[in-house]
Chains A and B, each alone.
Chain A
Amino acid sequence: DAGVTQSPTHLIKTRGQQVTLRCSPKSGHDTVSWYQQALGQGPQFIFQYYEEEERQRGNFPDRFSGHQFPNYSSELNVNALLLGDSALYLCASSLRRHGYTFGSGTRLTVV
């Protein structure tokens, strides 16, 4: 049974560019959440998608946007990249809010 799959695993972008990260949830899960983990910090909640709509959002600017597809997979888009956006981006899927499974993450480096 495949867990949560994220792609790509690593990414290097230039300041001002745009990036799209992808997540396939664990089989049977219908909810996808995204987290940003800066170096040496705990993950910070970006937003959660359920039934193709954003259900809850954390304290992130509008440059961060997302989408959920009918097959429950999800994308995280970040526009106008800043150096401070460099982080590990984690996707978590769940069927209920107390059963989160995390992917291995995408390491984004902005130069």
Chain B
Amino acid sequence: AQSVTQLDSQVPVFEEAPVELRCNYSSSVSVYLFWYVQYPNQGLQLLLKYLSGSTLVKGINGFEAEFNKSQTSFHLRKPSVHISDTAEYFCAVIMGGSEKLVFGKGTKLTVNP
């Protein structure tokens, strides 16, 4: 079965520190990859996506992610986080000819002063 694994359920960091949120997927076919952010009591906002081309993808709010096909990973990074980055982050994939997004369980990022 198709699956997405977010390796860390919670990541606490201090303000202005770098952060990496890890995501691995299981698929032997072509994939589209996404990172979404969810603030409390809100829907999902797209941070960035990989469809094809350059494996380094830049998104909104200073986030970036790198697609690694050999390791089936799509880790999210930010060089310096702000208090306002505190939220839940979801990695998601669309695999093969499917129409659906398959989500990981999420990583709760907490940025402390």
Instruction: List the interface of chain A (C-beta within 8 A of B).
Output: 4, 33, 35, 40-45, 48, 55-56, 58, 90, 92, 97-98, 100-105, 107
Contact = CB atoms under 8 A, between A and B. Distances in A.
Contacts of B99: 33, 48, 55-56, 97
Q: How large is the interface on B (under 10, 10 to 19, 20 to 34, 35 or more residues)?
A: 20 to 34
B105 interface: yes
B44 A43 contact: yes
Given A42-B90, A42-B106, A101 B101 contact: no
A102 B105 contact: no
A44 B4 CA distance: 12
B103 A43 contact: yes
B14 interface: no
B94 interface: yes
Contacts of B4: 42
B51 A98 contact: yes
B43 A90 contact: yes
A39 to B, nearest CB: 11
